[in-house]
């Protein structure tokens, strides 16, 4: 992997990690279209640079992370379902990561949901972290499990889940951001552990690429988070849904035409 390729993939990650469009799906497509060789390091890179993106949440919402112990307990409660599902379905998730057809369909279906989300989930009764119950946090965590399948979008599933359980748009988005921190830390730690268990080792150059990718993802994610909040408050989910539908249809047409894309 070159620094140019690392830059492009990290920009994709930073832009899409917190948007309801699926960062994993976009990185899969990005690496495929760039023709990047599917080495174990490349697979590790696409997961590990998520750390850079989630650090932007801690920086932007620093004070919110030190409000109360209840805040951390709610995040833990929301994190547990995906943690268990990830451990139990590890092989199935790895298989799904090699299926671009699945990504295309997930983008399309998820897009339809987003187009109608504002109409379906329009009750906004919860307006602060303190008002989120432990049970509501757990239900949002269950929604996150759906996003273990590439193309669904972790942020999309949890934001829509939050809206479905009566959080206002901004709070639903922010809780999704906060939930990304333990989730992405755990995913990166597991990927690193699996990498070393399989006999992998990182060269000095690969460590530099990882550091570079995390810095780029961090900087881009700072902009993406602020942008998402502004778009959600002004336009809702509709335009994200339309974008997903367009990308999903284009991919399905390409695959139907026999266009072959090598995937990681």
pLDDT digits (tens, 9 = 90+) for 114-124: 888 878 887 87
Q: Above 90 in pLDDT, residue 216?
A: yes
pLDDT-derived band at 210, boundaries 50, 70, 90:
very high
Q: Which of 258, 232, 190 is nearest to 18 (CA)?
A: 232
Average pLDDT of span 54-59: 86
Count of CA atoms in the C-beta half-sphere (13 A) of 251? 25
Q: What is the predicted pLDDT for the residue at 264?
A: 35
Residue 206 forms part of a structural domain: yes
Q: Which of 222, 252, 216 is nearest to 8 (CA)?
A: 216
Domain hosting residue 7, numbered range? 3-256
Q: Above 90 in pLDDT, residue 209?
A: yes
Residue 156 forms part of a structural domain: yes
pTM of the entire predicted model: 0.78
Round to whole Å and give the CA distance between 102 and 104.
5
8 A C-beta contact, residue 149 and residue 106: yes
Q: What is the predicted pLDDT for the residue at 261?
A: 52
Round to whole Å and give the CA distance between 35 and 37.
6
Residue 262 forms part of a structural domain: no
Average pLDDT of span 130-150: 88
Bridge partners (DSSP) of residue 171 are: none
pLDDT-derived band at 95, boundaries 50, 70, 90:
low
Residue 175 forms part of a structural domain: yes
**Which of 79-83, 221-225, 227-231 has the least mean pLDDT?**
227-231
Count of CA atoms in the C-beta half-sphere (13 A) of 172? 35
Q: Above 70 in pLDDT, residue 146?
A: yes
Q: Above 50 in pLDDT, residue 262?
A: no
Round to whole Å and give the CA distance between 44 and 4.
17
Residue 263 forms part of a structural domain: no
8 A C-beta contact, residue 44 and residue 195: yes
Residue 138 forms part of a structural domain: yes
Round to whole Å and give the CA distance between 53 and 67.
22
Round to whole Å and give the CA distance between 58 and 222.
10
Residue 261 forms part of a structural domain: no
Q: Domain count of the chain?
A: 1
Instruction: Write the secondary structure of 92-161 as one string of H (helix), E (strand) and C (coil).
Output: HHHHHCCCHHHHHHHHHHHHHHHHHHHHHCCCCCECCHHHCCHHHHHHHHHHHHHCCCCCCCHHHHHHHH
How does the average pLDDT of the chain come out, rounded? 83
């Amino acid at each position: 992997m070159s620094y140019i390729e690392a830059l492009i993939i990290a920009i994709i990650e930073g832009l899409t990690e917190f948007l309801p469009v699926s960062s994993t799906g976009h990185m899969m497509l990005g690496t495929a279209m760039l023709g990047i060789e599917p080495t174990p390091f490349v697979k590790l890179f696409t997961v590990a640079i998520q750390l850079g993106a989630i650090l932007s949440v801690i920086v932007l919402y620093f004070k919110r992370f030190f409000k109360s112990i209840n805040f951390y307990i709610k995040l833990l409660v929301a994190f547990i379902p995906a943690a268990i599902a990830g451990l139990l379905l590890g092989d199935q998730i790895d298989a799904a990561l090699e299926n671009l057809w699945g990504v295309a369909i997930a983008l399309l279906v998820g897009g339809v949901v987003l187009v109608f989300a504002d109409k379906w989930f329009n009750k906004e009764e919860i307006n602060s972290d303190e008002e989120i119950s432990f049970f509501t946090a757990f239900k949002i965590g269950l929604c996150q499990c759906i996003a273990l399948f590439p193309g669904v979008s972790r942020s999309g599933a949890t934001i829509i889940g939050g809206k479905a359980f009566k959080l206002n748009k901004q709070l639903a988005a922010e809780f999704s951001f906060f939930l990304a921190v333990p989730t992405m830390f755990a995913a990166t730690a597991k990927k690193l552990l699996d990498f070393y268990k399989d006999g992998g080792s990182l060269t000095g150059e690969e460590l530099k690429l990882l550091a570079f990718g995390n810095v780029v993802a961090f900087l881009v994610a700072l902009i993406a988070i602020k942008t998402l909040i502004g778009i959600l408050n002004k336009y809702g989910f509709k335009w994200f849904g339309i974008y997903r539908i367009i990308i999903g249809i284009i991919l399905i047409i390409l695959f139907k035409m026999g266009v072959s894309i090598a995937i990681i």
